[in-house]
A and B are shown apart, each in its own frame.
Chain A
Amino acid sequence: SQQGEEDPQALSIQEGENATMNCSYKTSINNLQWYRQNSGRGLVHLILIRSNEREKHSGRLRVTLDTSKKSSSLLITASRAADTASYFCATDANDYKLSFGAGTTVTVRA
């Protein structure tokens, strides 16, 4: 079973706009991670936020975590065509078993 749920399932934006996607999960976590997957390829790790952190930045990415609401958000600013991909949140509850959501498919239009 999948722990996280991403929302929305799909997102289409114009190049230069920001993209925001949300992740909700069910159980306590050690950390939450976001991954990107280009069509038919493996996953690439984007950012990890620990349970005692509230916000983290990496380049054009901003992640927030609200453990009281069991939710996280990923913001991609100034989107580019190369950001077109599926984005997955994954929760790490026991140090070895990442549980992924079903993902948000982002399409950036030129």
Chain B
Amino acid sequence: DTGVSQDPRHKITKRGQNVTFRCDPISEHNRLYWYRQTLGQGPEFLTYFQNEAQLEKSRLLSDRFSAERPKGSFSTLEIQRTEQGDSAMYLCASSLEGGWRFFGPGTRLTVL
């Protein structure tokens, strides 16, 4: 499968725990995006990378959130001290510059 993959697909955690998600983009895509989607809503932009550089972060991305893309390949999104309000689907997408986004299947996070 040469599409965008995300791991894990589902994560259940207790409030206060840290979680980390991984995204593997389409290999030739230099741009990688993270979005968050809550039930009944469209995805909301969190951050994006061009190669290994994180170029934009939404105000939604509090200081408990951090994203990395070492070597411009896969990316990780870490949430520290999770809160119940963090429960959502976390979507990763990749693209070429100016191209449309290819989305992964998402990681569904449930914080108890």
Contact = CB atoms under 8 A, between A and B. Distances in A.
Contacts of A4: 42
Interface string A1-33: 010100000000000000000000000000001
A2 B44 contact: yes
Interface residues of A, number: 22
B27 to A, nearest CB: 18
Interface of B: 4, 31, 33, 40-45, 48, 50, 55-56, 89, 91, 93, 97-98, 100-106, 108
B85 to A, nearest CB: 17
B104 A98 contact: no
Contacts, number: 57
Contacts of B105: 41-42
B43 A102 contact: no
Contacts of A41: 105-106
5 contacts: A35-B103, A44-B103, A95-B98, A96-B56, A103-B40
Contacts of B101: 43, 45, 98
